[in-house]
Amino acid sequence: MTVTGERLRTGRGLGTSAARPDGVPKVSGTFGFSSDLHADGMVWGHVLRSPHPSARILGVDIGPALAMAGVHAVLTADDVPGTNGFGLEHADQPVFARDVVRFTGEAVAAVAADHPDTARRAAQAIVVHYEPVEPVVDPEAAIVAAPIHPDGNVFRHLVIRHGDIAAEGDVVVEGTYEVGMQDQAFMGPESGLAVPDDVGGVDLYMSTQWLHVDRDQVADCLGLAPEQVRLTLAGVGGAFGAREDVSMQVHICLLALHTGRPVKMVFSREESFLGHVHRHPARMHYRHHATRDGRLVKVEARMLLDGGAYASTSGPVLVNACCFAAGPYHVPNALIEGWAVRTNNPPCGAMRGFGAVQACFGHESQMDRLAAELGLDPVELRLRNAMRTGDCIPTGQVVSGAAPVAELIRTCAAAPLPALDPAPSPMSMPGGSGRAADAGRVRRGVGFAVGFKNLMYSAGFDDFSTARVRLDEGVATVTCAAAEVGQGFVTLAQQIVRDVLGVDEVVVAPAETMTIGSAGSTSASRQTWMSGGAVQGAALAVRARLEAGQTGPIEETYEHHHPPTFPLDDNGQGNAHVSYVFAAHRAVVDVDLDLGLVRVVEIATSQDVGRVLNPVQVVGQIEGGIAQGVGLAVMEEIVLDRGLVRNASFTDYLIPTALDMPTVTVAALIEEPEPGAPFGAKGVGEPPTISSSAAVAAAIRAATGLALPRIPVRPQDIALA
């Protein structure tokens, strides 16, 4: 879309497209990303990873590595002074595997050397005697298989019983759907620098999403007090969930403490694919009951998520997948069962959309199936069932805030359709530069999808953010540990303070653990609400003192909590969430019927935003989120072969290029202020990814007439159907 008019005008406060404070260094190449760090005397770290998805470790001989010139340290599980385990929810993943490895890529040892190539060769020189074990790779089988970890194979089992679970509809449609394993594939690889102090502690400069929880996990593994691990956010090259878990943090700190030198580590792209969590692959079985006139009566669903070898956030992802399994509709009765299980596949955790993406593909596929069964227009069926404020989700929780679902559907569906190009260039047809398309065999299809998810953390988590604002001689300084990962929180923080204090110059201090409390994670579309609220609170407190006549420097710190949430009960009922955000997507695709290649032509979208705080940044989130949804629909998947990753590279894990990304038409940004939200604004980062994949899949179905129960849709799924 084009951002025009008032809002693009140079502005500085809320509601304007204020400039990013990190913009000039980023276009100039001088912005300091974590991989750009340098310290005098530093050495390079490298991690040795398991080549097996499942194996016993019979012995590790580090001698050949230690003997190499330039090698400063070689560490294994024996060298972990604290807990040999980390994890966001459960510390079930070893820093270094000791007796067994449970996935391809699991860390076994780490090396520090004077050159990255030396470090890599030294890691290769470590001799590990493995005894391979048959991996458990099927998540259904994992439920009943012998445990592959002392904590068992089931991360979470959840049943939601809502209303009359015996209710029946006039019409029943049933389907089984699958979502492949998607990777966040951020551009800036995992990287960091650990600098030992001379009293046993360490300073860690790291690209991460959540500084304080990294710090706590690292300290626990190192056997240090949290204050002895000081974390500073280094420039983050994208995140999308993959930096929420610890990757190299413990390893480089251990190496730094052992060598007494600064240690830098930068993952190669292959290591990045192996070294962070992915989006959970899902198998979903659905049964929708409806009346003849198209009112949903009951949704039954069984959601099975493959969590891979370690827990990460599998539990909360499953809660989300189940809570949102029925979609943003009025559903009086529901029976939803979910499993998140452990396998010897790569660990899965947070990725943009967090369980709602998988669920959306399921419920929206079902809505289309139901529309076909009823002979109804898919958009009309959605309108008839659209959730409104006051409806409840299957957990029994009433949606009390803005829920403009019908308006989203109507505005998105009303966007003009793109014209057919009468003389398409090969570059604009499916397959692009390959020139394989035959215009006579290209069919256009249109698909529609609506999705929703929660904002912020849920189910009883004590979710808060802390910010400090200092006003001194007309210059305000914001201190907050919210991780800027590209989304633009640093811009927003400035906009908020300018508005509240009426000052022009606002400095955003580095995010670090030493100066301020936790801001929580940059995830769950939560920083605008949580850290935006904390910055607002601190600024308001400063303003109050100004208005009371105080002079001189004024400093206030504010901790912002959202209203309490509660865990789900045994029937999956409870007020687990704070707020919800909605979006609708309409996809237009061209499909080469014979080759199965797909060109996404346009995505139109309407999104519930509460209030637009920075128009350009909102559009940036929408376009970028849609790109990830388009990728999941037609090309992105980590291909596994008995637990081995077959495409851990940008050569073979394909993400959309500029020739793959469709035009994005923002049909409407619905500004219905959210009660309780700072400024009335909702987070905007995740909805673009939630229903765009489902819309593209629906459009491909419309073009081909095929059922296509799985994303990504591969060429052979169409051409060989």
Partner 1 sequence: MTFRLTVNGRPRDVEGAWLGESLLYVLRERLGLPGSKNACEQGECGSCSVRLDDRLVCACLVLAAEAQGRSVATVEGLSAGDRTLTDVQQAFLDQGAVQCGFCTPGLVMSVHDLLDRNPAPDELELREAISGNLCRCTGYGRILAAARTVVERRAAATPERELP
Partner 2 sequence: MPAAAAPVALPESVDEVLQALADEPEAMILAGGTDLMVEVNAGRRRPVSVVSLTRVRELAGWSRDGDEVVLGACLTYADMERGPLAALVPALGQAARTIGSPQIRAAATIGGNLGTASPAGDTLPVLAALDAVVETAGPQGSRRLLVGDFVTGVKQTALLPGEIVTAVRVPLRRGRQEFLKVGTRNAMVISVVMVAVVVDLDGRTVRAGLGSVAPRPVRARSAEAFAAEHADWRRGAVASPDVVARFGQLCAEATSPIDDHRSTADYRRRAVAVCASRALARVLPPEGVHGDGGPSDE
> Residues in the site for partner 1, rule: CB under 8 A?
1-3, 17, 19-20, 22-24, 26-33, 35-36, 38, 115, 117, 184-189, 235-240, 266, 268-269, 425, 427-428, 433, 485-488, 616-617, 619-620, 623-628, 649-651, 655-659, 661, 664
Cis preceding-peptide flag for 394 (omega within 30 of 0)? no
Minimum CB separation from partner 2 for residue 451, in Å? 25
CB of 395 to partner 2, least distance (A): 38
- CA–CA distance, 394 with 326 (Å, rounded to integer): 8
- At closest approach, how far in Å is the CB of 522 from partner 2? 29
291 Cβ contact partners less than 8 Å away, ≥ 6 residues apart: 169, 170, 171, 297
Cβ-based nearer residue to partner 1, 656 or 678: 656
Q: CB of 151 within 8 A of CB of 90?
A: yes
Residue labelled with tokens 């009293």: 199
Between residues 353 and 625, which has the closer beta carbon with respect to partner 1? 625
CB 122 within 8 A of CB 46: yes
Q: Which does 33 bind (CB under 5 to 8 A by kind): partner 2, partner 1, none?
A: partner 1
Name which of 446 and 633 has its Cβ closer to partner 2: 633
- Residue with Cβ nearer partner 2 (45 or 520): 45
Nearer to partner 1, 47 or 341 (CB): 47
- The tokens describing 561, both together, are 């909590």
The span from the CA of 645 to the CA of 638, in Å, is 7
CB of 91 to partner 2, least distance (A): 32
Residues that bind partner 2 (CB under 8 A): 117, 120-121, 124, 268, 270, 425-427, 429-441, 594-597, 599, 634-635, 639, 641, 646-647, 651-652, 654, 656-660, 714-716, 719-720
What is the rounded CA–CA span in Å between residue 581 and residue 670?
11
Interaction partner, residue 620 (partner 1, partner 2, none; CB < 5-8 Å by kind): partner 1
Shorter beta-carbon distance to partner 1: residue 462 or 652: 652
Which of 272, 255, 273 lies closest to 264 in space, CA to CA?
Answer: 255
Task: Report what 439 binds from partner 2, partner 1, none; CB cut-off 5-8 Å by kind.
Answer: partner 2
Of 334, 357, 341, 315, the C-alpha closest to 160 is: 334
CA–CA distance, 690 with 175 (Å, rounded to integer): 20
Query: Is the Cβ of residue 167 or residue 659 nearer to partner 2 in the bound state?
Result: 659
The option from partner 2, partner 1, none interacting with 624 (CB < 5 to 8 A, set by class) reads: partner 1
| Mode of pairing for the β-strands spanning 263-266 and 43-49 | parallel
Smallest distance, Å, CB 202 to partner 2?
28
Tell me how far the alpha carbon of residue 269 is from its chain's centroid: 18
CA angle 449, 303, 410 (to 5 degrees): 15
CA–CA distance, 480 with 470 (Å, rounded to integer): 12
646 binds, among partner 1, partner 2, none (CB under 5 to 8 A by kind): partner 2
Residue 118: what residue type? T
**550 contact, one of partner 1, partner 2, none, CB 5-8 Å limit per kind:** none
DSSP string, 326-375: T-SB--SEEEEEEEEE--SSPPB---TTTTHHHHHHHHHHHHHHHHHHHT
State which amino acid sits at residue 382: R
For the bound state, the minimum distance from the C-beta of residue 594 to partner 2, rounded and expressed in Å, comes to: 4
Minimum distance, C-beta of residue 641 to partner 2, in the bound complex (Å): 7
Cβ proximity to partner 2, 56 vs 646, nearer residue: 646
Q: Which does 485 bind (CB under 5 to 8 A by kind): partner 1, partner 2, none?
A: partner 1
Alpha-carbon span 205 to 653, nearest angstrom: 29
User: Shortest distance, CB of residue 195 to partner 1, whole angstroms?
Assistant: 17
- Between 509 and 706, whose beta carbon lies closer to partner 2? 706
What residues pair up with 666 in beta bridges, in sequence order?
Answer: 605
| Contact yes or no for 587/494 (Cβ under 8 A) | no
Residue 119 contacts residue 113 (beta carbons within 8 Å) = yes
Choose the one of partner 2, partner 1, none that binds residue 635, judging by a C-beta under 5 to 8 angstroms depending on kind: partner 2
To the nearest whole angstrom, how small is the minimum distance from the Cβ of residue 429 to partner 2?
7
Compute the distance between CA of residue 585 and CA of residue 623 in angstroms, rounded to an integer: 12
Q: Which does 639 bind (CB under 5 to 8 A by kind): partner 2, partner 1, none?
A: partner 2
Least Å from the CB of residue 81 to partner 2: 30
Residue among 11 and 432 whose Cβ is closer to partner 2: 432
d(C-alpha 450, C-alpha 382), whole Å: 8
Q: How far is the CB of 268 from partner 1 (least distance, A)?
A: 6
Residue 480, token pair as written in the block: 């907050």
Nearer to partner 1, 180 or 572 (CB): 180
